[in-house]
Amino acid sequence: MEQKKTTHFGFQEVPLEEKAHKVAEVFHSVASRYDLMNDLMSLGIHRLWKRFVIELSGIRPGMRVLDLAGGTGDLVKVFADRVGNKGQVVLADINSSMLEKGRERLTNLGKVGNISYVQANAESLPFPANYFDRITIAFGLRNVTQKETALHSMYQILKPGGQLLVLEFSKPAPWLAPAYDAYSFWALPRIGKWVTGDADSYRYLVESIRRHPDQETLCAMMQSAGFDHCDFHNLSQGIVALHRGYKY
């Protein structure tokens, strides 16, 4: 009898085909308070991390930009201004609740015309080859079941000369790790329960961070997917890292 393939869901091992559904349940649960929780969990610093992505992206008028796992649209609202009327920004998310929150928020901000919304799985992106000038994914790659497949899919739809930027939690400096672990495993689930009534989802999010590849491993994965000149920048002592890769 063939043994079922498994993958990690936080610290649990689950059948490969079940992970996407379990991750979806997490984000359906937290979507309504997602922005508030980001501010509380990071003490607002997530805004500075995303600003760093924006400045290093080099996005210019007329470009096509894809923001994967775009959630409530923090990056998209800035990208839409930068690409202008002749450019295009696509907010893509696998989760319908997050996608709807992003659409509602951006529409309320008057961001219409050059933004489109697509519910999509990063492992099989429904876009033409060599289509986007930039692809960004912020705090989403760790939730993808088969990261290597997703990175290859991103490479295929990026134009030659284009750039992928991955902002994700990573491995902090050793001196910071004990305090970071205490905050993550003790405080965050309690904040999640207080704000959203859902401690388990935030416990999963903490565990998913610990299971995510470290800086050097993710860099090697991007290179294996075809990206050139891969590098990374540690932010907040490595709590978060911004990885970049190019397609030539």
Annotated binding site for S-adenosyl-L-methionine: 72, 93, 121-122
Q: Which residues pair with 135 in a beta bridge?
A: 66, 164
| Residue 111 CB-density burial (10 A; 0-12 exposed, 13-18 middle, 19+ buried) | buried
Is the backbone of residue 139 left (phi > 0), alpha (psi -120 to 50) or beta?
A: left
Half-sphere exposure of 96 (CA within 13 A, CB side): 2
Distances (CA, A) of 64 to 106, 122, 158, 172: 18, 17, 10, 33
Name the residue with tokens 């930068």: 82
Q: Which residues are annotated as a binding site?
A: 72, 93, 121-122
**How far are the Cα atoms of 16, 31, 88, 103, 160 from residue 96, in angstroms, in the given order?**
21, 10, 21, 10, 31
- What Cα–Cα distance (Å) separates residue 246 from each residue in 23, 46, 146, 158? 29, 24, 21, 9
Distance CA 130, CA 126 (A): 12
The DSSP bridge partners found for residue 7 are: 14
